[in-house]
Every structure is written in C-alpha cells, then in structure tokens.
Amino acid sequence: MPMFWAFYVGRHPSHPSENANYMSLDPRKIQWIRDIETLYARGKVVDYLRRCAEIVGRTGQSYSTVIREVLTTHDDIVDLLRAFEGNGGLPHFNNLSDPDLRKAINGHLPDDSQLWPTDDIVNLHHVLFSQLDSAYFNLSGYQSLSNFS
C-alpha cells in the first residue's frame, strides 16, 4: 500500500518570495485503489496479497489475518477518500511538530527548503487529512500535525 501523502516544494501562497512545503494526496494511492478494485473484480485480490505477504514474510507463516486486516483497512480508507473526494477546499496551513518525521522530510529537501518547526506546510486536503488522522494516524503516536494558523 503506498503512502497517503506526497510532499512538494513550491512557492508560499501568502509569501511568493518564499518556498513552502505542500502536502497532497499521493497519486500512487489512487492507482493502488484501482489495482485492488480490478483484483477484487477478477477474484484475485486475496491471492495477490498472499503473494505479497509471502515475499516479505517467513515460510510457513499464516497470512490470513494480515490479508483480512489489509483489506478491511483498504475498504475503510476508500470509503473516506470517496466521502471527501474533491473536497480539498482552500489550502490549510499546518506546522510539523514531530521531529522524526520532520527529519525524514528534510532528508529529501534541498538546503534552501529545509523545514523548521515553525514553518508552514500547505495542506491541500485538510478535511481528508483530519479524518484519516483521527481514524488511523493518531493511533500510531508517531506523527502529528498541529494547526499553525
């Protein structure tokens, strides 16, 4: 399952002379949904996920529970995505409060675009993010975005 979010560097909407980090739904997520729906339609989704699990797992392991959980999570996420599809609205400004995630993002950014705790992230799908955050992301305790505005 691909990442939910993609991060891009672009011009800050309120300060055009400055860079900002944009957060948007990763296009690969939509492709994953299409692929899984095609596999569902062909009756091959369980076989596909079992093969994926066998590649990363150990021989002799039972993957039935993992496959069931992946499909349940996938279906829940698809329901959320469809409920908020096209509901990007106005950009919402967040700052990144988790130092580990900030370090991971900064590792992929040029020096002049490094993210600091007080810098804005322009969230293009704030309503969807809030729903996913409360349903899934906050459960892990590893990531948190706090409202900056």
Statement: residue 20 has pLDDT above 70: yes
Average pLDDT of span 1-16: 80
The model's pLDDT over 71-124, given as tens digits with 9 standing for 90+, comes to 998 898 888 888 876 665 677 887 777 677 678 778 877 887 777 777 778 888
Pick left, alpha or beta for residue 137 (phi over 0 → left; psi -120 to 50 → alpha; otherwise beta): alpha
The two tokens of residue 126 are 């704030």
How far apart CA 5 and CA 74 sit, in angstroms, is 15
Q: What's the Cα-to-Cα distance from 59 to each of 45, 53, 62, 63, rounded to whole Å?
A: 20, 10, 9, 10
| In the chain, domain spans | 30-83, 93-147
The whole-number pLDDT of residue 88 equals: 59
19 exposed, middle or buried (CB, 10 Å; 0-12, 13-18, 19+)?
middle
How many residues in total does the chain contain? 149
The whole-number pLDDT of residue 2 equals: 62
Average pLDDT of span 17-30: 83
Which comes out higher in pLDDT, residue 88 or 16? Answer: 16
Q: Which residue has the tokens 């066998």?
A: 54
The model's pLDDT over 114-147, given as tens digits with 9 standing for 90+, comes to 777 777 788 888 888 777 777 766 654 434 444 4
Which comes out higher in pLDDT, residue 51 or 90? Answer: 51
Q: Which residue has the tokens 């409202």?
A: 147
The whole-number pLDDT of residue 39 equals: 96
The whole-number pLDDT of residue 68 equals: 92
